[in-house]
Amino acid sequence: MTMKPGLRDILWMAVGAAVLLAVSLLVLHFRDLPTPSAQLAFKARRVELVERMRLSVAAASEAEKSAVMAITDGDSQLYADQARTATAAVEQGRRELEQLLRPGSPKNENAFLTQFFGAFAEFQRIDKELLDLAVKNTNLKAYSLAFGPAAGVLKEMDAALNRLVVVGGDSASADNLKVMRLADGARIAALRLLALLPPHIAEESDQKMDEMEAVMAKEDQTVRQNLEALNALRLLGGNTDLSTAAVRYARFTELRMQILKLSRENTNVRSLTISLREKRKVMMMCQDALAGLEQAIQEEPIAGLSNHTPVSPR
């Protein structure tokens, strides 16, 4: 005769099955967990990656500043290329880090990573604009023209006007005094024009450039009026010095237009302004986000370890 299990036996069997299931789940869970040494290695890998990214961000910023401050196109291009290479290394690290920090990572780590993504996107945008400007060196080229060829032709014009005299006339005569007055008027106005070029090249504001160019237009008109008045004097008909002065001023005018065009592009001034204001700020945001991420990774707990040291069994 078969004995049916009683209620007490059924309860014991249910408890036994539940305990067996719980033990099985625990075994499976711990079997899938990485060992403490594997967790340490994974942590070290991520920390090293973040540190490399921080160094690359700093290297990119340093190279960018060198590109802005370089005085030749070749040096500017060299440093700009170095900055782009360092920025590319940061981008590579960002992609690797994104794969290592899955959605299951601690919330603070993902928060720092999101913060870095936003700052680095702005870093890249600013870098492109800044480096494209830096390699043009329009302000440096304008300075070179102003202090070189422009100053040179104006010096020749000044010397030619200084030599204007009425051949065989009295130096104190009314004619000679008129020549001297007109020649000096042209010389002084031309020199004022030359003196206005460096401040224009260094200026950041378009409005102030407009004001300077308005003053230049008046000085230019003064030079032309005086040269025309000199040319109208019968006693200077065919004077080679006056012809030389006119030719040199025409050349100076061509150079002045080139200088003003380069100055208006203002690439050196604009790139320096962006570097000191926008770029430095976003670079610090990137570094702060990476520093916070690195600290968060360092503080991840590892089962069986205390402060990276194995816990002694009791």
Mean pLDDT is highest, among 96-105, 111-120, 211-220, for 211-220
Given a contact cutoff of 8 angstroms between Cβ atoms, the answer to whether 198 and 176 are in contact is no
Q: What is the pLDDT of residue 28?
A: 41
Q: What value does the mean pLDDT take over residues 276-288?
A: 93
Q: SS3 for 305?
A: strand
Element of type H or E holding 8:
helix 7-32
CA distance 296 to 43: 10
Angle at 260 between CA 258 and CA 263, to 5 degrees: 110
CA distance 268 to 277: 14
State both tokens at 229. Answer: 């008045």
Q: SS3 for 101?
A: coil
Q: SS3 for 278?
A: helix
- Indicate the CATH number for domain 138-267: 1.20.1440
- With bands split at pLDDT 50, 70 and 90, how would you rate the model's confidence at 314? very low
Q: What is the pLDDT of residue 176?
A: 81
Longest dimension (CA), the chain: 158
Q: What is the pLDDT of residue 311?
A: 40
- With bands split at pLDDT 50, 70 and 90, how would you rate the model's confidence at 25? very low
CA distances from 233 to 187, 246, 312, 314 (A): 18, 15, 109, 114
What's the whole-model pTM score?
0.72
| pLDDT above 90 (res 57) | yes
| pLDDT above 50 (res 29) | no
| pLDDT above 90 (res 137) | yes
CA distance 186 to 223: 4
- With bands split at pLDDT 50, 70 and 90, how would you rate the model's confidence at 123? very high
| pLDDT above 70 (res 305) | no
**Of 18-27, 220-229, 266-275, which range is least confident?**
18-27
Dihedral (CA of 162, 164, 169, 174) sign:
negative
Composition of the chain by helix, strand, coil, percent to 5: 80, 0, 15
Higher pLDDT: 23 or 3? It is 3
Q: What is the pLDDT of residue 36?
A: 75
State both tokens at 8. Answer: 């007490």
State both tokens at 288. Answer: 């702060």
- With bands split at pLDDT 50, 70 and 90, how would you rate the model's confidence at 155? very high
pLDDT in tens, 161-174: 988 854 445 555 77
CA distances from 203 to 28, 67, 268 (A): 71, 20, 11
CA distance 158 to 148: 15
Q: What is the pLDDT of residue 244?
A: 95
Burial 181-204 (b: 16+ CB within 10 A, else e): ebbebbbebbbbbbebbeebbebe
Mean pLDDT of the chain: 84
Burial of 78 (0-12, 13-18, 19+ CB in 10 A): middle
Which amino acid belongs to residue 262?
L
CA distance 161 to 230: 10
| pLDDT above 50 (res 128) | yes
Q: What is the pLDDT of residue 34?
A: 66
